[in-house]
Amino acid sequence: MGHGRSPRGRPNRRETPASTRASVRFGEAELSRDPDRGSGWLLSVNGVAQSYVDLGDPTHLEFDYVRRIGDVVDLAHPAGVPLEVLHIGGGACTIPRYVAATRKGSRQLVIEADGPLVELVRENLDLRSVPQLKVRVGDGRRETATRRDDTADLVVVDAFESALMPGPLATLEYCREVRRVLRPQGTYVANLADGGGLRFARRFAATLVEIFEHVLVMAEPGVFRGRRFGNLVAAASAAELPYAELTRRTAGSAFPARCVPGQEFAGNARPLSDEEPVEPPQPPPDALGRT
Q: What is the pLDDT of residue 128?
A: 93
Which residues, including other chains, have CB under 8 Å from residue 248's CB and lie 6 or more apart? Answer: none
* Alpha carbons 92 and 96: distance in angstroms, whole number: 9
Residue by residue, what is the 3-state secondary structure of 211-235?
A: HCCEEEEEECHHHHCCCCCEEEEEE
Q: Where are the domains of the chain?
A: 59-266
pLDDT at 11: 39
Return the pLDDT at 214: 98
What string of pLDDT tens digits covers the 291 residues of the chain?
455 544 444 434 344 348 899 999 988 999 999 999 989 999 999 888 899 999 999 999 999 999 999 999 999 999 999 999 999 999 999 999 999 999 999 999 999 999 999 999 999 999 999 999 999 999 999 999 999 999 999 999 998 765 557 788 999 999 999 999 999 999 999 999 999 899 999 999 999 999 999 999 999 999 999 899 999 999 999 999 999 999 999 999 998 999 999 999 999 999 999 998 777 777 776 554 433
Sequence-distant (≥ 6) Cβ neighbours of residue 21 within 8 angstroms:
28, 29, 30, 31
Q: Give the per-residue pLDDT at 48.
A: 86
Please say whether the dihedral angle defined by the alpha carbons of residues 188, 5, 279 and 22, taken in this order, is positive or negative: negative
Correct CATH for 59-266 of 3.40.50.800, 3.40.50.150, 3.40.50.1370, 3.40.50.300: 3.40.50.150
Q: Residue 122: which H helix or E strand, with range? A: helix 115-124
Q: Closest by alpha carbon to 240, among 271, 268, 261?
A: 261
Q: Could you count the other beta carbons within 10 Å of the beta carbon of residue 205?
A: 29
